[in-house]
Amino acid sequence: MFNKHISRRSFLTISAMTAAALALDWKKVNAMAAKMGPPTDYPTVIIGAGLGGLCCGAYLARQGIPVTVIEQHYVPGGYATSFDRAAGKFTFEVSLHGTTAKNNSVERILKNIGVYDRLEFVELPDIYCMKTPDFEINVPQRNPDLYIQMLAEKFPEEADGIRSFVYEMIGITDEVDRLHQKKGKFFKPFFPLQYRKMWHVRNQTLADMLKEHVQNQALKDALAGLWGYYGLPSSQLSAFYYSVATGGYLKNGSYYIKQRSQDLSNAMAQEIENSGGKILYNKTVTNIRVKDNTVTGIEMSDKTTLAAKAVVSNASALTTFQKMLPKDTVPEAYLKQLKSYRPSISSFIVWLGLNQDITDRISCYGTHVSGKQDVETAYQSCINGDIENGPFGVAAYDKAFNGYSMPDTSTLMLLFLCGYEPWRQFESDYQNNRKKSYYTQKNQWTDILIRRAEETLIPGLSSMIEVKEAGTPLTNWQYTGNTEGAIYGFEQSMNNAFMNRISNESPINGLYLAGSWGDPGGGYEGALRSGEITFQKLMEKWGG
């Protein structure tokens, strides 16, 4: 029989799990707002106009809070952006392949801040395709049974385990949805009985979870096929984190934002401004001012200062706490905690504008190409920059919707997940605009990735290229300021994922995180949810 006398550690675990899963409670928010007094008493500065910062800013501005977002780039969005080449003939997507956007927190958040109906979400033809030397599989939209059937045909002896694993992931997603609907109203000692699946995987890696269901290593790697979306291999990745995200894709589908992800960022920025907030572009925050362990405002590189009741950092947490704050302000224990976390993996990307329409010559929208390496070896290849042998992806954006590119052209992205170390040697020269050696390696990697895509997926690719551009981890750092060019903030390791994730509320009164470096982490949904969590924490602080 279940022991009602739950341990303190388990109680805290349940509290963390449920807090991370809960939807925003508007009844509580409105009650807190009523206690606050004039909203103008709470000027807030947000450092960075990535999705987390924009989301938090939109929520606050709609409450009448004076919000100023300060962004180093000339457009909002962080990685949720796009750029033009060839005088606008090609518009390249920076990051979005597909995101969940229906029946989940993305839809709810975007409706809450008034932008959902301004956006058009296009359901993609498939979630993704996996191409290995031994088999190819297209993971279908909103049809987990067909996905199970496809894998069972390749691994018939593991059919039962495939089904149990897939439905375990979906079951975890369903339990999180149920928590949303109940707004966290449950009796904590009974949580392990009411939410058995969530409780079961709370301390498991994806590898732990897989071995409970299947034995074949190639099958395990296939079921972990989306590991690149989360930046860690099965042995290091939280089973809960993988299950919620992947189960969400399988159940609710994957979507692209028409025309580009920049539309999402622009809509949120517009909502902030329409609600009375301000966004300052081409400005950099250099210092966060603190008095008596409480933030008082910020200073920019041009020495302009702004007073603030709260500062929300959508920037790198490491930059925020190691470089922006006065010396000896941050507790040593907190700095030690931050140093124990690692920035996530980065990326090397090649964008191609082709001089012909190849939509009918490529079978999938998004293809993950793997060699004979297992997931663990593939991850190490990425970290080490083994672009000749590591896995890579190809996104054929014209399969997302008709008219993505101009007539008789095509737009492609080639993506190789990459560690920072292969590029660290160029860091100082890059920052001082001495880039000759950097360009040599960048061009070499570009040619290798094009050749590999041509050999495995698109014959004749090199002869079709009209425009090509490439981005490295140093490019990521330049445009986002993310430490080591991280694309997911802090990685989702077991010591910093979900119930153990760093809090968005810092030891400095009035200083918060919002975005991929905070809770719950990276990705479009994670960044949006992080902005919402921080908004709620601010309202609780001010009106509690």
- Give the domain range for residue 234: 143-255
Residue 449 belongs to some domain of the structure: yes
Is residue 6's pLDDT more than 70? no
Q: Tell me the CATH number at 51.
A: 3.50.50.60
Which of 233, 255, 277 is the last residue in one of the domains? 255
User: What gap in Å lies between CA 470 and CA 412, rounded to an integer?
Assistant: 12
Q: What is the pLDDT of residues 426-452, one digit of tens each?
A: 999 999 999 999 999 999 999 999 999
Min mean pLDDT across 82-96, 165-179, 349-363, 387-401 is at 165-179
pTM of the model: 0.95
Task: For residue 24, name the pLDDT band (cuts at 50, 70, 90).
Answer: confident
Q: What is the predicted pLDDT for the residue at 125? A: 97
pLDDT above 70 coverage of the chain, percent: 94
Give the distance, in angstroms, between the CA of residue 340 and the centroid of all CA atoms in the same chain.
20
Task: For residue 180, name the pLDDT band (cuts at 50, 70, 90).
Answer: confident
One domain for residues 156 and 238? yes
Q: What is the predicted pLDDT for the residue at 109? A: 96
Q: What is the pLDDT of residues 463-521, one digit of tens each?
A: 999 999 999 999 999 999 999 999 999 999 999 987 789 999 999 999 999 999 999 99
User: What gap in Å lies between CA 390 and CA 371, rounded to an integer?
Assistant: 7
Q: What is the pLDDT of residues 147-158, one digit of tens each?
A: 999 999 999 999
Which of 220, 255, 290 is the last residue in one of the domains? 255
Residue 114 belongs to some domain of the structure: no
One domain for residues 369 and 460? yes
Is residue 110's pLDDT more than 90? yes
Q: What is the predicted pLDDT for the residue at 238? A: 94
Whether the CB-CB separation of 513 and 37 falls below 8 Å is answered with no
Q: What is the predicted pLDDT for the residue at 3? A: 43
Q: What is the pLDDT of residues 279-313, one digit of tens each?
A: 999 999 999 999 999 999 999 999 999 999 999 99
One domain for residues 352 and 466? yes
One domain for residues 349 and 478? yes
One domain for residues 504 and 423? no
User: What gap in Å lies between CA 420 and CA 476, rounded to an integer?
Assistant: 11
pLDDT above 90 coverage of the chain, percent: 89
Q: What is the predicted pLDDT for the residue at 25? A: 82
Residue 194 belongs to some domain of the structure: yes
One domain for residues 466 and 507? no
User: What gap in Å lies between CA 316 and CA 356, rounded to an integer?
Assistant: 40
Residue 475 belongs to some domain of the structure: yes
Over range 129-137, report the average pLDDT. Answer: 94
Q: Any residues with CB less than 8 A from the CB of 420 and at least 6 apart, and which?
A: 343, 346, 473, 484, 485
One domain for residues 251 and 307? no
Over range 174-184, report the average pLDDT. Answer: 77
One domain for residues 441 and 479? yes
Q: Parallel, antiparallel, or unpaired for β 44-47 and 67-70?
A: parallel
One domain for residues 405 and 432? yes
Is residue 331's pLDDT more than 90? yes
Whether the CB-CB separation of 438 and 430 falls below 8 Å is answered with yes
Whether the CB-CB separation of 62 and 24 falls below 8 Å is answered with no
Over range 174-200, report the average pLDDT. Answer: 79
Q: Any residues with CB less than 8 A from the CB of 443 and at least 6 apart, and which?
A: 470
User: If you average pLDDT over every residue of the chain, what do you get?
Assistant: 94
Q: Any residues with CB less than 8 A from the CB of 313 and at least 6 apart, and which?
A: 46, 47, 48, 288, 320, 324, 511, 512, 513, 514, 515
User: What gap in Å lies between CA 386 and CA 379, rounded to an integer?
Assistant: 10
Over range 48-61, report the average pLDDT. Answer: 99
Residue 138 belongs to some domain of the structure: no
Over range 112-141, report the average pLDDT. Answer: 96
Please give the single-letter amino acid code of residue 358. Answer: I
One domain for residues 204 and 243? yes
E-strand stretches of 364-489: 366-369, 392-396, 410-418, 465-471
Question: Beta-carbon neighbour count of residue 416 at 10 Å?
Answer: 23
Is residue 329 helix, strand or coil? Answer: coil
Is residue 122's pLDDT more than 90? yes
Is residue 543's pLDDT more than 60? yes
Is residue 22's pLDDT more than 80? no
Is residue 15's pLDDT more than 70? no
Over range 159-171, report the average pLDDT. Answer: 99
Residue 411 belongs to some domain of the structure: yes
Question: In total, how many domains does the chain have?
Answer: 3
Who wins on pLDDT, 227 or 179?
227
One domain for residues 244 and 274? no
User: What gap in Å lies between CA 369 and CA 388, rounded to an integer?
Assistant: 12
Task: For residue 192, name the pLDDT band (cuts at 50, 70, 90).
Answer: confident
Is residue 361's pLDDT more than 90? yes
Which of 255, 282, 310 is the last residue in one of the domains? 255
Residue 10 belongs to some domain of the structure: no
Residue 112 belongs to some domain of the structure: no
Q: What is the predicted pLDDT for the residue at 216? A: 97
- Backbone angles phi and psi of 515, in degrees to 5: 130, -165
One domain for residues 231 and 281? no
User: What gap in Å lies between CA 97 and CA 79, rounded to an integer?
Assistant: 12
